[in-house]
A = this chain, B = another copy of it.
Amino acid sequence: MTVRQDIHNSSAPVLCQACEARHRGICGALDPDQLVGLAKTSLRRRIRAGAELVGDAEAVDSYANILSGVVKLTKTLSDGRQQVVGLQFAPDFLGRPFKAESTISAEAATDLSLCSFPKAALERMMKEQPGLEHRLLRQTLRELDEAREWMVTLGRKTAAEKIASFLLLIAKNIDPARDPNARMAVFDLPLSRGDIADFLGLTIETVSRQLTKLRADGVIQIENNRHFVVENIARLEARSGS
Contacts and interface: CB of A to CB of B under 8 A. Distances in A.
Contacts of A83: 151-152, 155-156
B156 A201 contact: yes
A156 B82 contact: yes
A201 B155 contact: yes
Nearest to A145: B103
B133 A97 contact: no
Nearest to A138: B98
**How many copies of this chain does the complex contain?**
2
Given A137-B133, A156-B201, A201-B156, A104 B144 contact: no
A98 B140 CA distance: 12
B155 A77 contact: no
Given A78-B242, A133-B134, A156-B83, A148 B147 contact: yes
A201 B156 CA distance: 6
A2 to B, nearest CB: 23
A189 to B, nearest CB: 19
Given A133-B137, A140-B140, A73 B148 contact: yes
A81 to B, nearest CB: 4
A75 B201 contact: no
A156 B85 CA distance: 11
A157 to B, nearest CB: 8
A104 to B, nearest CB: 6
Given A78-B242, A130-B133, A134-B133, A140 B151 contact: no
B77 A141 contact: no
Interface of A: 73, 75, 77-79, 81-83, 85-86, 96-99, 103-104, 130, 133-134, 136-138, 140-141, 143-145, 147-152, 154-157, 198, 200-201, 241-242
Q: Which 3 A-B pairs have the closest CB atoms?
A: A155-B201, A130-B130, A85-B148
